[in-house]
Chains A and B, each alone.
Chain A
Amino acid sequence: GAGVSQSPSNKVTEKGKDVELRCDPISGHTALYWYRQSLGQGLEFLIYFQGNSAPDKSGLPSDRFSAERTGGSVSTLTIQRTQQEDSAVYLCASSLYGGYGTEAFFGQGTRLTVV
């Protein structure tokens, strides 16, 4: 597709279970971001991949969160032992290259609900 694709669009999981969220960026984009938006909050940065550089993981809230990007394309965000405070919309974005001069394009998000 032409845009950033995220799956699933909605996910309900039980507390303590692991979840995987997937992001397919725009083809050819070297930079990929994960953000989350909790109810009534802004966009919280989670992790940033840029080409072959080591990812910027400074936004991951705990060691239960991890992400990988395979082959410089598809990315998976994994949350282990989910907690209720993990409930949020998880947004993925990609840009042609990171940093100066490029805008990021967002997917529609995955709404995660932990019950």
Chain B
Amino acid sequence: DQQVKQNSPSLSVQEGRISILNCDYTNSMFDYFLWYKKYPAEGPTFLISISSIKDKNEDGRFTVFLNKSAKHLSLHIVPSQPGDSAVYFCAASARRLTFGEGTQLTVNP
């Protein structure tokens, strides 16, 4: 039972444009959501989070949006940079963290 799903395995954007990564969840008990970034041969690193009582959280170039009625989460990166190329995982927390399958983002110079 995949409670957190990232339906796009890959995304390619041009440098300077917006990257939008999407995530859907099924468990209404999730109350905290996170995005992680992972480079090859490294562990995932925390990027940004949002509480279920909010619908938006912004940190520099990164903004996370939460639509609870749709059980949908998105991460916007603007402007995208080549160094943002990585696998992005969304995660949701009830008692423990559940991760999606990841989306490989490639930002082309």
The answer to whether A56 and B95 have CB atoms under 8 Å apart is yes
Residue of B nearest to A49 (CB): B96
Surface stretch bound by B, among A69-77, A79-87, A105-113: A105-113
Residue of A nearest to B100 (CB): A42
Knowing A43-B89, A101-B51, say if A109 contacts B99 (CB, 8 Å): no
Q: How far does the alpha carbon of A97 sit from the alpha carbon of B49 in the complex, in Å?
A: 16
20 new A-B contacts, CB < 8 A, other than A104-B46, A106-B36, are A4-B43, A35-B99, A42-B99, A42-B100, A43-B99, A50-B96, A91-B43, A93-B43, A93-B97, A98-B95, A99-B93, A99-B95, A100-B32, A100-B51, A101-B32, A103-B49, A104-B97, A105-B46, A106-B45, A108-B41
A residues in contact (CB < 8 Å) with B: 4, 31, 33, 35, 41-43, 45, 48, 50, 56, 91, 93, 98-101, 103-109
Count, chain B residues at interface, CB 8 A: 24
In the bound complex, residues from chain B placing their C-beta under 8 Å from that of A56 are: 95-96
> How many pairs of residues, A versus B, come closer than 8 Å at their CB atoms?
60
Main secondary structure of the interface of A (DSSP, over half): loop
Min CB distance A97 to B, Å, is 11
Which residues in chain B, 55-109, are within 8 Å of chain A measured between CB atoms? 89, 93-102
The answer to whether B101 and A42 have CB atoms under 8 Å apart is yes
Residue of A nearest to B101 (CB): A42
Knowing A98-B95, A100-B32, A103-B34, say if A41 contacts B101 (CB, 8 Å): yes
Residue of B nearest to A53 (CB): B95
B residues in contact (CB < 8 Å) with A: 6, 31-32, 34, 36, 41-46, 49, 51, 89, 93-102
In the bound complex, residues from chain B placing their C-beta under 8 Å from that of A31 are: 96
